[in-house]
A and B are shown apart, each in its own frame.
Chain A
């Protein structure tokens, strides 16, 4: 049952990804991307990470996509593309297929191993995912967290400076 659901969602993800890279109109691409984000959020829930799914929807589907759509509309790029593709599609296709081949080869060949932690599924469900994230974030990763906030501040200032009209 679960696996059928997974394949269904995976199919949707791939199709909406294809929309992103193949659609002529940027608006259509953006819609495909939103769809992808939602599907990924579903995956996160299936992986017992509901908090990540929530911020995936809030940050990506909410904030970033709105931003992109705003820009598209601002620049009025509806059908502005004269020609969709720039350079040798063949070469690009080869390159991306090689990327895919790499991944498949890696997955076929090796076992995914690493330092195993003690956060079992049971623990996540009993304690709560948000609390676990919060604990780790504000103890172990407090410094990167603060730096990330500064990064966002800088990005805000930079975006304002770049986008405003010449004084």
Chain B
């Protein structure tokens, strides 16, 4: 029988991988994708718990997370285009104008 722990374990692995990607990659779009990966792992957690607890609220939450993720994708990718237009690069180590 598959328990909620199995799903949450998978979600934990995905989350850790997303974290690693966010922390190491240079390409802003790849980082963005890693963030999506983390969001999805959280979604998985929500839905598995929703099923486990026989409660709809978790799924509603996922619904909203998807809405926010869509908004985030639109705005984030627009930001990247703007940045690329100015710097001809989307490497995050070029984004250092605010330091010191």
Contact = CB atoms under 8 A, between A and B. Distances in A.
Interface of A: 2-3, 6, 10, 13-14, 17-18, 20-21, 26, 29-30, 33, 36-37, 40, 43-44, 46-49, 52, 55-56, 59-60, 63-64, 67-68, 71-72, 74-75, 77, 80-87, 89, 91-93, 95-97, 99-100, 103-104, 107, 112, 114-121, 132-133, 136-137, 140-141, 144, 148, 151-152, 154-156, 158-163, 165
B15 to A, nearest CB: 6
Interface of B: 1-2, 4-21, 23-27, 29-30, 32-34, 36-37, 40, 43-44, 47-57, 59-60, 62-64, 66-75, 77-82, 84-85, 89-93
Given A20-B34, A75-B90, 11 more contacts: A6-B2, A20-B21, A29-B30, A33-B33, A47-B47, A56-B66, A132-B56, A136-B57, A141-B60, A148-B67, A155-B74
19 contacts: A2-B1, A14-B17, A17-B17, A36-B37, A47-B7, A56-B43, A71-B77, A71-B81, A75-B80, A81-B26, A81-B27, A96-B20, A96-B23, A115-B55, A116-B54, A118-B54, A141-B60, A148-B68, A158-B74
